[in-house]
Structure formats: C-alpha cells, structure tokens
Amino acid sequence: AQSVTQPDIHITVSEGASLELRCNYSYGATPYLFWYVQSPGQGLQLLLKYFSGDTLVQGIKGFEAEFKRSQSSFNLRKPSVHWSDAAEYFCAVGAIAAGNKLTFGGGTRVLVKP
C-alpha cells in the first residue's frame, strides 16, 4: 500500500526567506507525486507533479520540487516566500496500479511572518 509522510505539521517562515517542505512516500514502483496547496476553507490547487524524466520539477507560484528515489522523497521548495504563500500544503502519491487514487500526507501548515 502506498503512504505519504509529511514530517512537519507546522512551519513558520519570514517573508522573503526560503521554504522547504518535506515529503516522504512509500510505494513499490515509481509513483506519481503531487503537491497541492489549500487556503482556508477552499479546495486544493495543484502546484506541481512528477511522473518521470527530470527529477527537478517546476510548478506554479515559484515553487519547485525534487524527486529523490534513493531517499523516497519529494520535497517542495521556494526560494523567497510571500505572505500569500501562507496555507496548508499537501503532498500526495498516486499510481495507475492503484486506480489513480491519491494518498495524501497529513499536510504542513505554513505561517509567514512579516
């Protein structure tokens, strides 16, 4: 069975500082990996995804993520955080073999200090 772990429940970062959110997954084959962002009371917006190829993936809003097979990780990064980046971030893993069902991590809440 596939699983996703986001070790950090909360992260507080100053505006303009860099941000890295950790994600570790467990899956037997190469999974499809996703990062979503959720603002309070709203749905999820896709930031980026990885299926194959280049392990460094660029997404929207200046985010990028790097797939590291040896570490079973897919960490999300942003060089300079804006106040509007305050939200909940979810890492998810899916696979065709699993019927494309997504398994979500517990989420990381990002707070941005002025």
Partner 1 sequence: GAVVSQHPSWVICKSGTSVKIECRSLDFQATTMFWYRQFPKQSLMLMATSNEGSKATYEQGVEKDKFLINHASLTLSTLTVTSAHPEDSSFYICSALSDSGNTIYFGEGSWLTVV
Quick one: which segment of 13-21, 40-48, 61-69, 76-84 binds partner 1 (CB under 8 A)? Answer: 40-48
Answer for the pair 93, 31: CB distance below 8 angstroms, yes or no. yes
Site string for partner 1, 51-90 (x = CB under 8 A): x--------------------------------------x
Is 99 a binding residue for partner 1 by CB under 8 A? The answer is yes
Is 7 a binding residue for partner 1 by CB under 8 A? The answer is no
**Please, what is the minimum distance in Å from the beta carbon of residue 16 to partner 1?**
27
Answer for the pair 2, 74: CB distance below 8 angstroms, yes or no. no
Indicate the SS3 state at residue 35: strand
